[in-house]
Structure 1
Amino acid sequence: MSNITLNVQGMTCGHCVNSVEGAVQNLGAAAKVDLPNGSVTIDYDETKVSLEAIKEAIEDQGYDVV
């Protein structure tokens, strides 16, 4: 298992949290959004999902991974 924290811009509310966490969970990973800090901590199995796929799933929800 790998663990990474990404900085994500554009998250402002509970809906944002649900959107990002749900998108990552749909890939088989676990996400925990820290809304005040604008970050997302992700636990994932790199043999099952790539970091690029996770970033793309977050960006598909309308947020920017920086």
Structure 2
Amino acid sequence: MSNTLTVSISGMTCGHCVASVTEEIESIAGVDSVDVALNAGGTSTATITSVRDLDEAEVSEAVAEAGYTLVSNNA
């Protein structure tokens, strides 16, 4: 069974940004796929499919590693 988590990311402006974020998120254990919807200059969304529940903190850390900021969905 797969789990899906959708997160919002700020600071992404181009395809290279998408590639960087995708690569970092895919490096998290258990992640099957990452689909990023780029909203250049605004808030982009990433839909992450994984084989286990992901902790938003570990996703935030991966996004930060790529140089961007996870916008809390709990705001």
* Length-normalised TM-score, structure 2: 0.74
Q: Which runs of 5+ in 2 are unaligned?
A: none
**Equivalent residue number for residue 34 of structure 1:** 37
**Equivalent residue number for residue 13 of structure 2:** 12
Match of 1:44 among 50, 54, 57: 50
Q: How many residues align?
A: 65
Provide the aligned C-alpha RMSD in A: 1.7
4+ runs deviating over 6 angstroms: none
Range 54-63 or range 13-22, more displaced: 54-63
CA distance in 2 between partners of 1:46 and 1:59 (Å): 21
- Superposed displacement of residue 55, structure 1: 1.7
Q: Percent identity?
A: 31
**Equivalent residue number for residue 53 of structure 1:** 58
Q: Please tell me whether Structure 1 or Structure 2 has the larger radius of gyration of its CA atoms.
A: 2
* Length-normalised TM-score, structure 1: 0.82
Q: Which runs of 5+ in 1 are unaligned?
A: none
